[in-house]
Amino acid sequence: MSALKRIRETKNLTQEELAQKSGLSVRTIQRIEAGMLPKGYTLKALVRTLDIPEEDLLNIKIVQQEIETVELPVTITENESANLALAKIINLSSIPVAWLPFANFMVPLLIMFFTKEKSRIIKQIISLQILLSIVCPVIFMIVALLKLGSRAVMITMVMLVLSNIYIILRNAYEMDKKSSLRYKLNFSFL
């Protein structure tokens, strides 16, 4: 719980009441309670309205104490295990269409929508396939436009498909061993 929320609740104020008294928007109050530190005019308005010193509002020791007292389980729950199994299925479902770059993400995407499972690992798997469906045709077209011959074009096409299959299988292996992905993106298309 943030310092502002704790102080606001001890003064028996709602977010709307505090916003009205301080002249700030409700969204600003929500952002500060979510973890954003107030600065400048916002800080002064809250301090004046709540009649507290600035240090009380900026005190993050309360939040740190709450974080330290929460203990997270180390074992994988049954639900996470089911999600990992589904992630493996979604990952491996790309193999039959790996040779067709624009379709290699469609089967996993359909499975994700039908199962309504949108975990971070599943989004990463599909995002990686979407990226590959963009990059592989570009590489293929570059080789074709360089006119290196039909043999080079065929070798490029085979190498792109094999590299996609390798990425899929390597990620499946890592999910079995470490419950994480070997190849993942720092962003998500979903």
Shared domain check, 108 and 172: yes
Residue 14 belongs to a domain with what CATH number? 1.10.260.40
Task: Give the chain's radius of gyration (CA, Å).
Answer: 26
Q: Which of 41, 69, 97 is the last residue of a domain?
A: 69
Query: What pLDDT was estimated at residue 23?
Result: 92
Burial-class residue 146 by CB neighbours within 10 Å (0-12, 13-18, 19+).
exposed
Q: How far is Cα 181 from Cα 48, in angstroms, rounded to an integer? A: 50
Residue 24 lies in domain: 3-69
What's the pTM value of the predicted model, to 2 decimals?
A: 0.54
Domain count, the chain: 2
Q: Is residue 173 part of a domain?
A: yes
Are residue 118 and residue 156 in the same domain, yes or no?
yes
Over its length of 190 residues, how does the chain's per-residue pLDDT go in tens digits?
A: 678 888 888 888 898 998 999 999 999 888 888 888 888 888 889 888 888 888 877 765 444 444 444 444 434 444 555 578 888 888 888 888 888 877 888 888 888 888 888 788 888 888 888 888 888 889 888 988 988 888 888 898 899 889 989 999 998 898 888 888 888 887 777 7
Token pair in block for residue 66: 């709450």
**Residue 189 belongs to a domain:** no
Q: What is the per-residue pLDDT across 69-118, written as a single tens digit (0 to 9) for each? A: 444 443 444 455 557 888 888 888 888 888 887 788 888 888 888 888 87
Contacts for 118 with CB less than 8 Å, ≥ 6 apart: 112, 190
